[in-house]
Amino acid sequence: MSQWLTWAKRIQALSQAGLTFTRDQYDRERYEELQEIAKEMFERHSDLSNEAISQLVHVQGYPTPKLDVRGVVFKGDRLLLVKERSDGLWTLPGGFCEVNRSPASNIIKEVEEEASLDVIPLRLLALFDMHEHPHPPLSEHYYKLFIECALIGDGEGAAGMETSDVGFFERDHLPELSLARNTLEQIHMCFDAHWQEDDWTTLFD
């Protein structure tokens, strides 16, 4: 990740926390100035739109990482992937966790919406900090949950509103991946966990 983006995110997080808890008007003005500095850094060193930067910088409440949940669904030794309309690349089905939904109910919803398949969540394979993995630089901080699910039925699935294709792939015949969503190492981890079903220990960081 670009060091500039790392600094900008840290400045933004500190200023957001300060604005959440301060009772002093002078401190509030200082934290607001720090937010503007972070905004300028994002403008100069990222490809985000002005609207996206403004939404990122001017956030209410204490800053915490967002949660992204990914469904790991196998048919035999083939792994389910979906093709994103946004970038034309392939990923595990998933997305942000929604308020008032558990991780399990989130992944059931995401797999149904993106692949038109019904699943039963079985176990948490990994909880990763995106900063610790070779994803492209991102403006926000994310944790990723990888949840293995059992497929209900034997359907091949169908694309949804956010996806243009669906497929089951072998480990040695993977399509081009959307690295902002999952890396090749993470996809290989899914295969390892599937093949080591009785001996797998949940990974983190």
Same domain membership, residue 137 and residue 71: yes
Same domain membership, residue 176 and residue 126: yes
Query: For the chain, how far is it from start to end, CA to CA, in angstroms?
Result: 16
Same domain membership, residue 196 and residue 128: yes
Amino acid 58: pLDDT: 67
**Length of the chain in residues, anyone?**
205
> How many CB atoms are located within 10 Å of the residue 169 CB?
16
Q: Where a domain ends, among 57, 82, 102?
A: 57
- Whether the per-residue pLDDT at 1 is higher than 60: the answer is no
The pLDDT tens digits of the residues spanning 2-42 come to: 787 788 888 888 888 888 888 888 888 888 888 888 888 88
Same domain membership, residue 70 and residue 27: no
- Number of domains the chain contains: 2
Same domain membership, residue 76 and residue 118: yes
Same domain membership, residue 105 and residue 79: yes
The kind and range of the H/E element at 27 are helix 25-45
Q: Where a domain ends, among 57, 74, 90?
A: 57
Same domain membership, residue 88 and residue 174: yes
Q: The domain containing residue 53 runs over which residues?
A: 3-57
Q: Where a domain ends, among 38, 57, 76?
A: 57
Amino acid 122: pLDDT: 97
DSSP the chain: --HHHHHHHHHHHHHHHHHHH---HHHHHHHHHHHHHHHHHHHHH----HHHHHHHHS--S----EEEEEEEEEETTEEEEEEETTTS-EE-SEEEPPTT--HHHHHHHHHHHHH---EEEEEEEEEEEGGGTTPPP-SS-EEEEEEEEEESSS------TTEEEEEEE-TTS---B-TTT--HHHHHHHHHHHHTTTT---EE-
Same domain membership, residue 155 and residue 76: yes
Same domain membership, residue 190 and residue 111: yes
Amino acid 19: pLDDT: 82
pLDDT-based confidence at residue 131 (cuts at 50, 70, 90) = confident
Same domain membership, residue 149 and residue 109: yes
Say which amino acid occupies 1.
Answer: M
Q: Which is more confidently placed, 24 or 127?
A: 127
Same domain membership, residue 195 and residue 102: yes
The pLDDT tens digits of the residues spanning 137-196 come to: 776 788 999 999 999 998 899 999 999 999 999 999 999 999 999 999 999 999 999 999
Please, what's the largest Cα pairwise distance for the chain? Answer: 63
* CATH assignment of the domain containing 103: 3.90.79.10
pLDDT-based confidence at residue 55 (cuts at 50, 70, 90) = low
Q: Is this structure's pTM higher than 0.85?
A: no
Same domain membership, residue 190 and residue 170: yes
Mean pLDDT over 98-124 rounds to: 95
Amino acid 56: pLDDT: 66
The pLDDT tens digits of the residues spanning 40-54 come to: 888 887 777 777 677
Query: Half-sphere exposure of 180 toward its Cβ, with a 13 Å CA cutoff?
Result: 11
